[in-house]
Amino acid sequence: MDKIVVRGGNALNGEIPIAGAKNACLTLMPAALLSAEPLTLTNAPRLSDIRTMTQLLQSLGCEVAALQDGKVLAMGCEAITNEVAHYDIVRKMRASILVLGPMLARMGKATVSLPGGCAIGARPVDLHLKALEAMGAKMDLRDGYVYATAEGGLTGGEYEFPVVSVGATENALMAATLAKGTTVLKNVAREPEIVDLAECLIAMGAKITGQGTSTITIEGVERLHGATHRVVTDRIELGTYMLAPVMTGGSVECLGGTRDLVGAFVDKLEECGVEVEETARGLRVTRDADKPLKPLHVVTEPYPGFPTDLQAQMMAMLMLADGESELEETIFENRFMHAPELQRMGADIRVRGGTAHVHGGKPLRGAQVMATDLRASVSLILAGLAAEGETSVSRVYHLDRGYEKLVEKLSACGADVERVSENG
């Protein structure tokens, strides 16, 4: 097993290319199940989660080829040959549930294991099931599986989500493209990944309006055809790397980034004294290490609010701020598991319920720490960039789920970081 070793103190300067969005690509790949014709995705990230989704699609009868060093995914599903998404694959990743809607829409039946792959809260799938039931599906949960049927196919319906859910919006949106009649989905997620999925489906022949707003209307079609689609830039990777020069001082240009992807996040950076400039190629982030950062009050919210997936990274940055900051987590429970690990590095963090109080401005020291989930893992690396001495981050398999070539990208800007064997 590997670990990542960070030796802090180096200012970062240079440029970092931002990959295609993991969360978008994991949603776009199941869309291949909706058509007998090929779907090709460009700008795909090269991550372990993408490989897991590839295995899942292949188990259902899809052909998937990774081209151009994995940046292009060519998928074809002329026929779904297996209607069961088995536990041994689905358990690895929450996004596996996204095959349910497409399989049900195309086949009229699907059996999908309840997913795993998440240590940050329960994240139940009930909203996925209720939205599909509004289109006429019948659900039976037993033995850890969802048995879904829609005899004669799905029909148009109306469903208002009681709370905003990205995954459930995606599942319902894909399913509705092949339903008979019109489907209206209300109080839907508005994330860029939702808009990206809708644009891909439209390129495949779907009739969709309202993406990016709180109501999406889908007029079902008889069939979808093949298409080629470019995966949107990963806004979470973008925000993560924007924090690297903030932690160390310096200036880094994040290639492919746009302010609209991370507007609420940029607002907070500027509020605490960081300079963010839009360039012809992306976003440039600059911080004078001699100027103290201002404390913040941050509340995670559905898009376009502050992303929960950047909360852990922001906590690492606020350890450097001059004063007390507050982070309120409103999306997921159990998402402050990185706080005890950051405390090992000298951070003064106190968690009360869904709020973390960060008393910044205290020196950070390198330490042996352990990643508890994907975003927590990278928050520890960011902290290591600013800490005195050496930080060793173990269980970095979490990191491989969401960040490609992290060591190479940070090293190219002057960071002293390497990946080594736990036994090395």
Q: What is the CATH number of the domain that holds 102?
A: 3.65.10.10
Q: Count other Cβ atoms within 10 Å, centred on residue 91.
A: 16
Q: For the chain, first and last CA: distance in Å?
A: 10
pLDDT in tens, the chain (424 residues): 899 999 999 999 999 999 999 999 999 999 999 999 999 999 999 999 999 999 999 999 999 999 999 999 999 999 999 999 999 999 888 899 999 999 999 999 999 998 854 443 444 789 999 999 999 999 999 998 999 999 999 999 999 999 999 999 999 999 999 999 999 999 999 999 999 999 999 999 999 999 999 999 999 999 999 999 999 999 999 999 999 999 999 999 999 999 999 999 999 999 999 999 999 999 999 999 899 999 999 999 999 999 999 999 999 999 999 999 999 999 887 789 999 999 999 999 999 999 999 999 999 999 999 998 888 899 999 999 999 999 999 999 889 888 999 999 999 999 999 999 876 5
| 90 and 225 both lie in a single domain | yes
| 48 and 109 both lie in a single domain | yes
| 82 and 159 both lie in a single domain | yes
Residue position matching structure tokens 């993406």: 211
Q: How far, in Å, are 116, 171, 298 from residue 166 at the CA level?
A: 17, 9, 21
Domain that includes residue 277, residue range: 2-18+233-421
**Residues whose CB is less than 8 angstroms from the CB of residue 416 and which lie 6 or more positions away in sequence, other chains included:** 6, 7, 8, 9, 10
Q: Is position 334 annotated in a ligand binding site?
A: no
pLDDT at 116: 58
**Residues 301-336 as b or e (16 or more Cβ within 10 Å = b):** ebbebbbbbbbbbbbbbbbbbeebbebebbbbeebb
pTM of the model: 0.94
- Of 177, 212, 230, which closes a domain? 230
| 213 and 237 both lie in a single domain | no
Cα dihedral across residues 236, 191, 202, 25: positive or negative: positive
Contact 270, 55 (CB under 8 A): no
- Of 230, 263, 285, which closes a domain? 230
| 238 and 360 both lie in a single domain | yes
| 204 and 269 both lie in a single domain | no
Q: Count other Cβ atoms within 10 Å, centred on residue 422.
A: 11
Question: 373: left (phi > 0), else alpha (psi -120 to 50), else beta?
Answer: beta
| 33 and 168 both lie in a single domain | yes
Q: Is position 309 annotated in a ligand binding site?
A: yes
| 253 and 148 both lie in a single domain | no
Nearest by Cα to 226 from 35, 25, 26: 35
| 379 and 283 both lie in a single domain | yes
Residue position matching structure tokens 């690895």: 92
Q: Is position 22 annotated in a ligand binding site?
A: yes
Q: How far is 98 from 172, CA to CA, in rounded Å?
A: 9
| 148 and 60 both lie in a single domain | yes
Residue 118 falls in the annotated catalytic set: yes
Sheet containing strand 72-76, strands side by side:
63-67, 72-76, 39-42, 227-230
Residue type, 72: V
Q: What pairs with residue 418 in β-bridges? A: 5
- Catalytic hit among 62, 118, 272, 413: 118
- Of 202, 230, 258, which closes a domain? 230
Q: Is position 395 annotated in a ligand binding site?
A: no
Residue position matching structure tokens 């850890």: 144
Chain centroid to CA 377: how far?
14
User: Counting Cβ atoms within 10 Å, is residue 97 exposed (0-12), middle (13-18) or buried (19+)?
Assistant: buried
User: Counting Cβ atoms within 10 Å, is residue 62 exposed (0-12), middle (13-18) or buried (19+)?
Assistant: buried
Q: How far is 383 from 68, CA to CA, in rounded Å?
A: 34
Helices in 178-331 by DSSP H: which ranges?
A: 192-203, 235-248, 263-271, 311-318
Residue type, 258: T
Q: Is position 124 annotated in a ligand binding site?
A: yes
| 68 and 147 both lie in a single domain | yes
Q: How far is 16 from 37, CA to CA, in rounded Å?
A: 35
Contact 306, 324 (CB under 8 A): no
Tokens of 187: 């109080």
Element of type H or E holding 50: helix 48-59
Q: Is position 46 annotated in a ligand binding site?
A: no
Contact 350, 356 (CB under 8 A): yes
| 376 and 332 both lie in a single domain | yes
3-state secondary structure at position 173: helix
Q: In the chain, how many domains are there?
A: 2
Residue 154 backbone phi and psi in degrees, to 5: -75, 155
Tokens of 233: 């830039």
